[in-house]
Amino acid sequence: MEQVNYKKFYPTAIALYFTYFIHGIGASILGQYKQDFASMWGAKVLEDGTFDVSIVVSVIAALGLGRLISLPFSGPISDKFGRRISGLIGVICYALYLGGIVFAPNMMVGYMFAIVGGIANSFLDTCVTPSCMEIFPENGSVANLFTKFSMSIAQFALPFGIGFVATNAFSFKTIFIIAAVAIAIDGVLIAFLPFPKLENAQDDSESEKEVKKEKMKFTPASIALICIGFTSSSTFMIWLNCNQELGKLYGLADPSKIQSFYALGTVCAILVSSFLISKGLKAVRILIIYPAISAAMLIAIYFIRIPSICLVGGFVLGYAAAGGVLQLCVSTANEMFPKDKGKITSIVMIASSVANYTIISFASYLTKVGGATNGPINVVLLNIAVTLLGVLLAIYVNIQNDKIERAREVA
């Protein structure tokens, strides 16, 4: 068998990780500029003089709809035509989303651009995750965690960028435009850098079909794992997009600080998780531990209604909710279906997209009907419920995984 020099793919990995750096900005920046977009799109003015941001939360939810629409196609395209094609489609769509949404004249046009942004996300998912696991075959789970690390660095830096823009009286559109240009330049690099050969490339097409058919049989444990894609995404997406209103309700002077604490927690989680996995902790165990921590933190946030709890909660939820649970879920699923990494990544991300669209849409509804006082609290209760469901699913996956391992030992 031909020895592959994986070092030649390292520049490709850096370019791919950079797409997730931009994705980190794209996934959270709308939540930071809700008032600006609400004003631009003619939202209703509330009694306290602020704008009703529920229409902007609905647009944020459309990111999930875009992913949901495109993920059934992005995985097969990645597996059949190559990771590069999938990545380039993602880059082009992301540049369109970031560059277009700031010029949307109304909420409906913004909604369409958000759908394009969701499409971009799905094609990047089915390019970057399989590619990085193929570039670093001995450390696939850790390699995939660093996609989240790239996002977290961007989300940590974002508040400082927002502060710089505000201090210099630049338009709120500035960061969007810079990010659009940056990912377009990165796309040029991706177009020419080398990618690993697809693992499922075979001369015997019939043999390939047989292998795929066998590998894509779903067990209850794999279905539960896919459902964790839904619950883990719900936990951090709800918090990421709705924490500002909660901070205001609890009397936090500068709610934007929550974002920095959140991103710092995520960065810490990636580094700690990578270390623990390298020392032998199974990724499947983290799927229980971190959601359990998130649930406990959300319950504390519900009962302890003081300003500082939002900052503590931002760090803890950044660590435990956004600190790689979804990525480890995808990595575990990729290990279950090694010949169909693009497809299984799509399936898990479809579950994530359903969460992004349905849960965020429901959070938008709760925000609207609950108002400034009850809306944020109801959103926290929603987050507690979905996170506890994730804990139960992870317990089941771990029980089934232990049974399989004991059976292997006996055999």
CA distance linking residue 86 with residue 128, whole number of Å = 9
Residue 160 corresponds to which tokens in the numbers above? 């400082």
Show the domain range for 96: 6-410
Q: Are 133 and 144 in contact (CB under 8 A)?
A: yes
Give how far the C-alpha of residue 212 lies from the chain's centroid of Cα atoms, to the nearest Å.
Answer: 27
C-alpha torsion sign, points 169, 173, 176, 179: negative
Candidate from 109-118, 261-270, 355-364 with smallest mean pLDDT = 355-364
Does the pLDDT value for residue 236 go beyond 50? yes
Domain tally, the chain: 1
Alpha-carbon distance of 234 to 357, in angstroms, equals: 9
In this predicted structure, the answer to whether residue 209 has a pLDDT above a threshold of 60 is no
What's the Cα-to-Cα distance from 279 to each of 2, 142, 227, rounded to whole Å? 30, 12, 27
> Could you tell me if residue 215 is inside a domain?
yes
1 within some domain: no
Q: Is position 146 within any domain?
A: yes
Task: Judge whether 45 and 33 are in contact, CB under 8 Å.
Answer: no
Residue-level pLDDT at 411: 61
The pTM is what? 0.76
In this prediction, residue 297 carries a pLDDT of 96
The answer to whether residue 86 is domain-embedded is yes
Mean pLDDT, the chain, rounded, equals 86
In this predicted structure, the answer to whether residue 393 has a pLDDT above a threshold of 90 is: yes
Mean of pLDDT values over 125-136 = 86
Model confidence over 368-381: pLDDT tens digits? 787 777 888 999 99
How many Cα atoms occupy the beta-carbon half-sphere of 316 within 13 Å? Answer: 18
Q: What is the pLDDT of residue 214?
A: 56
How much is the pLDDT for 1? Answer: 43
Q: For the domain that residue 40 is a member of, what is the CATH number?
A: 1.20.1250.20
pLDDT, mean of residues 219-236: 90
Mean pLDDT, to the nearest integer, of 101-118?
94
> Average pLDDT, stretch 100-115?
94
185-201 pLDDT per residue, tens:
999 999 999 998 876 55
